[in-house]
Amino acid sequence: MRILVTGGAGYIGSVVTRCLVEEGHDVVVLDDLSTGHREAVDSRAELVVGDITRPQRVLGGVDAVVHLAARSQVAESVAYPERYWHGNITATMALLEAMREAGVKKMVFSSTAAVYGKPRGRVITEEHPTAPINPYGASKLAIDHMLAASAAAHGLGAVSLRYFNAAGALAELGERHEPETHLIPNLLEAAFTGATAKVFGTDYPTDDGTAVRDYIHVADLAQAHLRALESIEPSRHEVFNLGTGRGHSVGEVLLAVQHGTGQEVEVEHHPRRAGDPAVLVASPEKARRLLGWLPERGLEEMIADAAAARNMQRGAPAAAA
């Protein structure tokens, strides 16, 4: 297929793009490079620098859209919710309208576990009530509803993939956010440079008081997008949780980074961030059953791959971890 990947110069988008190209797809990336990196886009894909609210020039001949472009910082969404209404909801409305005009009727959408809000059980299935507690999650849930309505009204075939916590790297394609807010790259930076890492919240109702998250390797995440593309049916919107079914606390991740790098990490404790729930763990059962997908890589491999990518990006030996 010819596939448009919005946000394909970003962390997850660049890995998805590479995996799509490896599968033999013809890929065009649309990215404004506000947070993405030109050099992260696979050379076999076509890169168009532009705004996703005006995608008409790249939709010709496209069979499907993988939509990853978005604002994605929880704390920023709490402080500046209007950025998320515009950058996520309004932008996606424009993209969907352009797709309808161009006759493109397949979409895989990058959604999030943040749509669930505070979990009511230890493991979250797709049937869990959606009650986001921050504007980021609310904006993604609005798009999920938008896709369901477009499927019913216009025959769109769509899949929403609700990510839990992406981590790791594929070769040199690791995280390079500015500023970096994700736990593993910040702990690795502290381990390799001697800087102090920030830990937000030590009073959660968890075993060690730190937040628990379901970390999933970005390469496993990318494979789920490929399986989702194959599963799309006209006039149908499906939702899948993408996680491992196992949670790790911030404290556990800290110990794993120290073990993997052989370095002590100094941490600085801060209050909880607004909008962060205590525990988020996915059930991957529906994705296993309907997509034939299960994650293959564990936390140790995520840390090792992230460390290797970090060092490659900085010209240091990749084997430092």
- Sign of CA pseudo-dihedral 58, 59, 63, 64: positive
Count of CB atoms situated within 10 Å of the CB of 244: 23
Contact 13/68 with Cβ under 8 angstroms?
Answer: yes
Total-model pTM: 0.92
CA dist 238 and 154 (Å) reads 15
Write down the H helix ranges in 80-155.
Answer: 81-84, 91-102, 135-154
Q: Judge whether residue 249 has pLDDT over 80.
A: yes
Strand bridging mode 64-67 / 196-200: unpaired
Q: Judge whether residue 316 has pLDDT over 80.
A: no
Q: How confident is the model at residue 194 (pLDDT cuts 50, 70, 90)?
A: very high
List, by residue number, the catalytic residues: 136
pLDDT tens, position by position, 197-233 = 999 999 999 999 999 999 999 999 999 999 999 999 9
CA dist 158 and 97 (Å) reads 14
Q: DSSP states of 34-92 as a string?
A: SSS-GGGS-TTSEEEES-TT--GGG-TT--EEEE------HHHHHH-HHHHIIIIIIHH
Q: How confident is the model at residue 158 (pLDDT cuts 50, 70, 90)?
A: very high
Contact 210/250 with Cβ under 8 angstroms?
Answer: yes
Helix (H) or strand (E) holding 304: helix 299-313
CA dist 7 and 29 (Å) reads 7
User: Residue 320's pLDDT is what?
Assistant: 37
3-state helix, strand, coil in the chain (%, to 5): 40, 20, 40
Q: Which residue has the higher pLDDT, 311 or 262?
A: 262
